A and B are shown apart, each in its own frame.
Chain A
Amino acid sequence: AQSVTQLDSHVSVSEGTPVLLRCNYSSSYSPSLFWYVQHPNKGLQLLLKYTSAATLVKGINGFEAEFKKSETSFHLTKPSAHMSDAAEYFCVVSDLLAGTASKLTFGTGTRLQVTL
């Protein structure tokens, strides 16, 4: 079974400084990887996804992630944090199920705090 590990449960940055949220994955084959964001008391929104087309993936709101097979990592970055980025971020791997269904396996989440 595939899995993801988010290395930090909580990250705090100042507004205007870079963001780095770390994720390592475990997979027996080339996986599909995602980052989702959840703002307080809201649903989950897809930030970006990697599906083997390009190792550097650009997402919404200035976020990007780089797939590094040699390091089994898929870290999320943003050059300059904004107050509105404060949220919980989930690294996710897609696993295949019977009948061509797919299952998402979630990391435990990283809470990003942005301070003035």
Chain B
Amino acid sequence: DAGITQSPRHKVTETGTPVTLRCHQTENHRYMYWYRQDPGHGLRLIHYSYGVKDTDKGEVSDGYSVSRSKTEDFLLTLESATSSQTSVYFCAIRGTPELETQYFGPGTRLLVL
């Protein structure tokens, strides 16, 4: 258990509405990540953060934005949800001192109707 929680765990929303997912960690890790999981694709990186207010894009960042105003919280926002964003979203932190190992939260299942 890497002290990662995600909220909400399940969400159903309608196309065009904004959605924010929250990732919370309790162990003061510097690096945090958002991935999405879709059948046949494994997990793909959306955005990541390497410190407070320091974020960058991953390979599938279109339609998503992130914010990190404090170390423990990393927010993922879908500005205007689309059906193609129906997915399971996982937050991860990079543990220390094993700098390349990432530990995952329990996931958020999002359905966009």
Give the interface of A toward B (CB within 8 A).
32, 34, 36, 42-46, 49, 51, 90, 94, 97-104, 106-109
Contact = CB atoms under 8 A, between A and B. Distances in A.
A43 B105 contact: yes
Contact of A100 (B42, B43, B45, B50): B50
7 contacts: A43-B106, A51-B100, A94-B100, A100-B99, A101-B48, A104-B45, A107-B42
- Interface size of B as a range: 20 to 34
Given A43-B107, A51-B100, A103 B43 contact: no
B45 A103 contact: yes
B110 to A, nearest CB: 15
Nearest to B95: A46
Contacts of A49: 98, 100-101
A101 B43 contact: no
Contacts of B92: 104
Given A46-B101, A94-B100, A101-B50, A106 B44 contact: yes
Interface of B: 31, 33, 35, 40-45, 48, 50, 54, 56, 58, 90, 92, 94, 98-107
Interface of A is mostly: strand
Nearest to A99: B50
Contacts, number: 60
Given A97-B56, A99-B54, A106 B48 contact: no
A34 B103 CA distance: 12
Contacts of A108: 40-42
A60 B94 CA distance: 19
Q: Which 8 A-B pairs have the closest CB atoms?
A: A106-B42, A44-B104, A94-B100, A106-B43, A43-B106, A99-B50, A32-B100, A101-B50
A43 B90 contact: yes
Among A32, A46, A101, residue most surrounded by chain B Cβ atoms (within 10 Å): A101
Contacts of A98: 56
B44 to A, nearest CB: 7
Contacts of A36: 104
Given A97-B48, A101-B50, A103-B45, A46 B103 contact: yes
